[in-house]
Structure 1
């Protein structure tokens, strides 16, 4: 193919792709001949226009188009044959004085080469693997919430101890405007809680956010404040009372147990707590796994060192989108995407070295289980396999859904691999402790 590669350094190279007259001449002549057959030029019958006139009018454009086609074919074939691991796409080197009047051409392309590196999954630093337990406090709180949820709700006009409020938290300067339900015992600041006693629907109570809750993260739930802002947030907020209710707690009897879990499934408060504990801890496994996956990802990014062809990638970003970017914009975009690119390379190497692949059977089995869980949520506990297979077929006929599900399957495979090969230390925590660990506190 006569393509030559000049390595600038370990991460950058230049390809020189020759295109000779022998490559393009016949193709150009065939296109021009077709133009001549169909050309409609005043003074000439169709098909009798002199080739010299066709050549003059269309020759340059046809030459450029055919040379470009040949160039792309040669370039793509070379990259496949040489199995070059490149980042981005080849960038043509612009030559201001390129001479199209010659018969043979040489085109140069810049390449960004993927770096060589090793990934050590068994490095010394141990990642914490959490087991989240539903402790007694959580179980008692959940039972009380169930009693209130299934109890009798009574609307009121005036706030008293133990009431539930529907309120809107407002602070225009900080963009806070969120309506939610609260109980006064949620406030750590008891002085703030007392301000509501005796107030009526429509009244507005002013309180401060600093120390309002026992955990600043609750500001995210009640005020819809971003995590980056919650720590030490100290602003005044108006709380408008939209509604006041109290509830007579439901009795913990068999009628309530049957309503919650089905007839005869549980018969005592202890069994209720055991059931809540079992269901909660199943959900906690997913959250613990996600944190473990996140922590391993960060560990690999920190411990796996390699350089990137940064200047090439910045130049490539300038020209790869629908709209060209300035150099400053491209540098900003590269800074945002560099971490993700590094992990893609690390992940790709791990997958290759451990032969992690997704088969169609893997995808079908994963999708099937997902559909069964979704159907169970809507009360369809025993769907037929025929029904499941039909839904799976429809889901996997959508390319976007197939890609999304494939990513989930590979994520599970990576998680299992990490659990097998990454050094871990086990830690048992309550959910409340886990949340604090999750946010680094």
Structure 2
């Protein structure tokens, strides 16, 4: 057996493996003898068929199977011995598969394309500068959050006379008879001129208007029709009011505080707003943490200057996902993939050089945090805490173990980023929400 490496560029190469009869025939014969001992061939007792007959029947398929096993094992072992980092999987170069004479040929040569990077060099010191963004929660953000909560926990009333932002429930009919439905019209969706007709009215009043002109947005949704139908709606409609619905904001009292945060968590308006500010800060700074870390990744990626084998990786992605993606899909998604791959190479190098490893207990803790966040967002929260172990185990055992590996990688990545932040020059920068939105857009 002979293996040759031909480097065609700084990041792509071909590997040729030459096999002669001595490399594979002993294994082929051994397997055929096992077949002969078990073969159940018509006209012969089980295991008593002549070896020559078994070889004639199964020899070619066993030969192909054994050669493929040898190629896979030897290629993997050879690549593990190299100093460079192989990316993706080797791609077999198939010139003419039909040209192989499996029955008579004794010497074989196979070729594979590989993509690699020679080395990953990254030095972490205070010459690398980055901003650690922290969001300041302004009074307007707090007041808006309080207003939304008061509306969310408010009480529904049915006043006699309508006001701005009420909902009017009634029957809407087109004069030509093409439309007739009972529905609720949110006055906040009407334009400035039209809404005047709907303010100060009572149950039983009749209003004439053109919905296509009066309703600014969500016309199809409000009228409960398809978008195509909504485009054709116009002309004079008659709306007969049956009821007026209004949400009165919740009072800033203990009952409201308890509904939002649980019994006896806060007891005054000042404590309530302080709690809102704390939660907003926590939520905002989760976003800024992600943004900060992405910027650090960008900085290290640029500094490392890793030259990826682009043409090879695109070909590998296409073949690895054959039938699932097109060349256009690969071209479109490649920049994102290349960025993720580059960071993965850098992160793994930093972890290897500094013995950074993810522990099982850390994987469990991170998964618990993820599950808690998901439960909280669905309104379940603390009452499901007793079942946390079951949720975590189900998730980590799912997807044939891939979920566990993904969480393991995520934990290691977190630890690497924490390590990086300690080594580089990281300056805290406080910004407001508007500034943060600008940064994200740029």
CA offsets per residue over residues 66-115 of structure 1, 9 Å max, x none?
22222222222222344652112122233545565343433332221224
Length-normalised TM-score, structure 1: 0.72
Q: Is the 8 A contact 1:150 1:250 kept in 2?
A: yes
Q: Is the 8 A contact 1:36 1:49 kept in 2?
A: yes
Partner of 1:197: 196
Partner of 2:418: 416
Task: Select between 143-152 and 131-140 the one with higher mean Cα deviation.
Answer: 143-152
Tell me, in whole angstroms, the C-alpha distance in 2 between the residues paired with 1:397 and 1:152: 45
Would the alpha carbon gap of residues 299 and 58 (structure 1) be closer, same or farther in structure 2, given more than 3 Å must change? same
Would the alpha carbon gap of residues 326 and 251 (structure 1) be closer, same or farther in structure 2, given more than 3 Å must change? closer
Q: Is the 8 A contact 2:187 2:195 kept in 1?
A: no
> Which of residues 149, 152, 163 in structure 2 aligns to 1:146?
149
Task: Select between 326-335 and 20-29 the one with higher mean Cα deviation.
Answer: 326-335
SS at match of 1:196: helix
Q: Is the 8 A contact 2:4 2:15 kept in 1?
A: yes
Tell me, in whole angstroms, the C-alpha distance in 2 between the residues paired with 1:408 and 1:273: 34
Would the alpha carbon gap of residues 194 and 156 (structure 1) be closer, same or farther in structure 2, given more than 3 Å must change? farther
How many residues were matched structurally? 399
Tell me, in whole angstroms, the C-alpha distance in 2 between the residues paired with 1:392 and 1:327: 38
SS at match of 1:161: coil
Tell me, in whole angstroms, the C-alpha distance in 2 between the residues paired with 1:303 and 1:237: 58
Partner of 2:178: none
Structure 1 residue 432, shift from structure 2 partner = 4.1
Would the alpha carbon gap of residues 181 and 417 (structure 1) be closer, same or farther in structure 2, given more than 3 Å must change? farther
User: Gaps (5+ residues) in structure 2?
Assistant: 170-183, 199-206, 222-230
Structure 1 residue 153, shift from structure 2 partner = 2.0
Structure 1 residue 54, shift from structure 2 partner = 3.9
User: Gaps (5+ residues) in structure 1?
Assistant: 167-179, 213-218, 223-235
Would the alpha carbon gap of residues 421 and 204 (structure 1) be closer, same or farther in structure 2, given more than 3 Å must change? farther
> Which of residues 420, 429, 436 in structure 2 aligns to 1:427?
429
Tell me, in whole angstroms, the C-alpha distance in 1 between the residues paired with 2:440 and 2:321: 36
Partner of 1:113: 116
Q: For 1:45-60, what aligned pairs fall within 5 Å after superposition?
A: 49-60=49-60
SS at match of 2:94: coil
Partner of 1:357: 357
Q: For 1:29-428, what aligned pairs fall within 5 Å after superposition?
A: 29-37=29-37, 49-82=49-82, 84-96=84-96, 97-98=99-100, 100=102, 101-119=104-122, 122=125, 126-155=129-158, 160-163=163-166, 184=188, 192-199=191-198, 204=211, 206=213, 245-323=245-323, 334=334, 337-369=337-369, 378=380, 380=382, 392-393=392-393, 395-398=395-398, 399-428=401-430
Tell me, in whole angstroms, the C-alpha distance in 2 between the residues paired with 1:348 and 1:183: 57
Tell me, in whole angstroms, the C-alpha distance in 1 between the residues paired with 2:258 and 2:269: 12
Would the alpha carbon gap of residues 37 and 157 (structure 1) be closer, same or farther in structure 2, given more than 3 Å must change? farther
Structure 1 residue 194, shift from structure 2 partner = 4.2
Would the alpha carbon gap of residues 114 and 265 (structure 1) be closer, same or farther in structure 2, given more than 3 Å must change? same
Structure 1 residue 358, shift from structure 2 partner = 0.4
SS at match of 2:345: helix
Q: Is the 8 A contact 1:160 1:198 kept in 2?
A: no
SS at match of 1:267: coil
Length-normalised TM-score, structure 2: 0.71
Partner of 1:228: none
Would the alpha carbon gap of residues 82 and 292 (structure 1) be closer, same or farther in structure 2, given more than 3 Å must change? same
Tell me, in whole angstroms, the C-alpha distance in 1 between the residues paired with 2:9 and 2:258: 72
Tell me, in whole angstroms, the C-alpha distance in 2 between the residues paired with 1:314 and 1:428: 41
Tell me, in whole angstroms, the C-alpha distance in 2 between the residues paired with 1:201 and 1:348: 69
Tell me, in whole angstroms, the C-alpha distance in 2 between the residues paired with 1:412 and 1:202: 59
Structure 1 residue 291, shift from structure 2 partner = 1.5
Tell me, in whole angstroms, the C-alpha distance in 1 between the residues paired with 2:32 and 2:105: 19
Tell me, in whole angstroms, the C-alpha distance in 2 between the residues paired with 1:357 and 1:64: 41
